[in-house]
Chain A
Amino acid sequence: MIRGFRAWLNSMQAHMIGFALGVIVVITALSISLITIAGPPQRSPMTIYDLSRVIRGLEPARTGLAQEFTRTKASHAREPASEVERQLSGFLARELKVPAADVRLYLGNRAPSHLAYVARQAALYAQDGGSSPIVQGTLIAAVRQADGTWNLYVRRSKAGFENYWQLLRASHWLGFLIVVPLSMWFSTLIARPVRAFAAAASQAGDGRREFPVPVEGPTEIRVAARALNEMQARIRDFVRERTALVGAIAHDLRTPLNNLRFRIAGAPDEVRIPAEADIRQLELLINSTLDYVESDGRILTIDPIDLGSLLESIVDDSRAQGQVAFTAAAPVRIEGDILLLRRLFANLIGNALKYASTVTVALAATPTEAIVEIRDDGPGIPPADLARAFDPFFRGERSRSRTTGGIGLGLAIVRSVAETHGGTVTLENLPAGGLLARVALPLRHAPANEVTAE
């Protein structure tokens, strides 16, 4: 239950919900703090009549209005500065039923639009005898007493932010500015494991090698990674089974083939010689199949190897099959399995000699890799076949004839051996004709199946 909840908390769904809630909270907090810090002006409108009731000590229509006022005394009150204030003072004096000279009304600093509105009320109401326009915000009413002092009624209201609505509108854009980078950051956070997973999954192989996808990140990705790893294991098992089956069949063919050889040993030449040729053909097929099975599943014996002498000895042993030359820029030593590497290069050189009359083998090295290039002057490989040439059991057009054709495992062995050594092999047709096989092997042996951090 708890585990399930934890797993859910770690899921992308939960992250998304969390993010949506987070955005709402951020935007709301922003609006609330804007309202709190820079709120609208406190207007609290009241009529002049209400104001006269407050001054007379009567209850105004709006409860609490009287409490907004403070009373003080002053010995002097200046003349109102503006025409509006003078008019309003007149209205208030009329409501208080005292001479106009005994009343002063001052307005606080208001926005010009507001003052214009008050002036308009005063002008209109004065015309048709009305006397109670609405005033807002900070104001001070002064009433002269019998002793010549003035009673002041002061209401202070918060000036606020006059352009408050513009601010609110701007706050949406501000929110936008905060939320956009936030969501970019968050989506990267969510996408990173997905991207890592996709990268790992795209490497996940063809069953020859496994690329375990790291089980990390959100729950959904973990589930998918586990499923992918299991699938890879199943594919690997399947390929191994298939390879083992092919190997077993090839292996079991050897005993009857052996007997056949002995049984025809006494046959007349015209039967024995072609039959022996057929048997040899079969034997070659069986051997290359078993070589492939072995190169695929062999446990490596890693030794330091003088690569130049390896290539030279293969070239020497191949001279009976054609014109083949070897050049080396410098001695190169690598770490690897000598039997497998011998098979790799013997296959490539033998292959070249099958189709070409002249073959050159060149050895060079970079600081980290040994590079072996095998060039021939043969017909090359049709471009359409280049990509598949390394696939097991793939036989290109050029190897279909019985005299030259194997069963399409020679290059599969080459690739398999190169990859188990952490190297690569590529084929390309030379512009001047012929084929170039290029093998790159790391100088130091690094197990190919090791999972690296990246």
Chain B
Amino acid sequence: MNLQAPPAKILVVDDDPSVRAAVAEYLSGQDYTVFLAEDGEAMRRILRDHDIAIVLLDVMLPGEDGFTLARELRRRPDIGVIMLSARGSEGDRVTGLEAGADDYLPKPASPRELLARVRAVQRRYGGRADPPAAGFCFTFDGWSLDPVRRVLRDPQGLLISLSEGEFELLLAFVENPQAVLSRDQLLELARGQESEAFDRAIDVQVSRLRRKLAGCLEGDAIRTVRGEGYLFAAEVSRA
């Protein structure tokens, strides 16, 4: 974050005034400029007039629901979208992320976690030009990794389960294929995904991941680069 820049503008879209008030009060205290909207109509009005960085979007809204609005916001490459919803099921999370939200937080959300996610989304929009990772899979050598559903499929369609640590590690690899990644870089990349379970030694995680990817590139998908780290050898495409 650039401390010289004016405070980022966040728009909270929620039909419940108590939620708007509580979230606004907290985020204002964290040096954000907070705007409030109760539905899609009000959201568009504010987006026209202000340079909003992040929209916090409720799902159940009168009129158009949050998923619809997220799809609409996806067409604006400059705006980050975090959904904050009382609908907390896995299915809702997947729907939200596939609609194009950058993140999906179930209510009741911890204020600090919300802040961390807001900062992560800000980082993503501040640093990279990449579109957010939404609604696609990484594919490599017939395998596919769905970052939204957190599911790894082998070429026969069999679902291989990954622990949280293995998932974050594999995500770091497929986002940076055919590049040597040091242990520190891997730790940083995986932690950047807000993983709490990533506290095990990288080498153990890598060996577990290798076993699960045993059929990929004849077991040679993750190569050890002596003295430097690891390299994900497969060609990765986004589908």
Contact = CB atoms under 8 A, between A and B. Distances in A.
Interface of A: 251-252, 254-263, 265-266, 276, 279, 283, 287, 290, 294, 303-306, 309-310, 312-314, 316-317, 320, 333, 338-339, 342
B18 interface: yes
A261 B108 contact: yes
B166 A287 contact: no
Majority-rule SS of A interface residues: helix
Given A265-B29, A306-B160, A314-B163, 6 more contacts: A254-B106, A258-B84, A265-B26, A290-B88, A304-B158, A313-B162
Given A261-B109, A261-B110, A313-B162, A255 B151 contact: no
A290 B108 CA distance: 13
Contact of A262 (B26, B88, B151, B162): B26
B109 A258 contact: yes
Nearest to B86: A254
Given A303-B159, A310-B161, A263 B89 contact: no
Contact of A263 (B25, B84, B162): B25
B19 A313 contact: no
B65 interface: no
A388 B208 CA distance: 39
Contacts of A317: 163-165, 197
Interface string B205-229: 0001000100000000000000000
A259 B86 CA distance: 11
B111 interface: yes
Interface residues of B, number: 38
B2 interface: no
Nearest to A291: B89
B180 interface: no
B76 to A, nearest CB: 26
B107 interface: yes
Q: Which 5 A-B pairs have the closest CB atoms?
A: A316-B163, A262-B22, A258-B107, A258-B108, A257-B108
B110 A259 contact: no
B19 A304 contact: no
A263 B26 CA distance: 7
A419 to B, nearest CB: 20
12 contacts: A257-B107, A257-B108, A259-B19, A261-B111, A262-B22, A290-B88, A294-B89, A306-B159, A306-B161, A309-B160, A313-B161, A316-B163
Nearest to B212: A309
Given A287-B88, A306-B161, A317-B197, A279 B108 contact: yes
Contacts, number: 97
Contacts of A305: 158-159, 161
Interface string B117-133: 00000000000000000
A339 B159 contact: no
A269 to B, nearest CB: 13
B217 to A, nearest CB: 18
B86 A258 contact: yes
Interface string B156-178: 11111111111000000000000
- Which of A265, A312, A339 has most B Cβ within 10 Å? A265
Nearest to A279: B108
B72 interface: no
Contact of A255 (B16, B89, B154): B16
Interface in B72-120: 84, 86-90, 106-112
Given A303-B157, A313-B162, A338-B151, A255 B19 contact: yes
A338 B161 contact: yes
Contacts of B231: none
A309 B215 CA distance: 14
Nearest to A257: B108
A254 B158 contact: no
B46 interface: no
Nearest to B112: A265
Contact of A251 (B18, B86, B164, B212): B86
B157 A342 contact: no
A33 B3 CA distance: 117
B23 interface: yes
Contact of A316 (B22, B88, B165): B165
Interface in B1-60: 16, 18-19, 21-23, 25-26, 29
B161 A309 contact: yes
Contacts of A259: 18-19, 21-22
- Which of A256, A259, A287, A320 has most B Cβ within 10 Å? A259
B108 A313 contact: no
A217 B25 CA distance: 70
A309 B161 CA distance: 5
B162 A255 contact: no
Contacts of B26: 262, 265-266
Contacts of B89: 290, 294
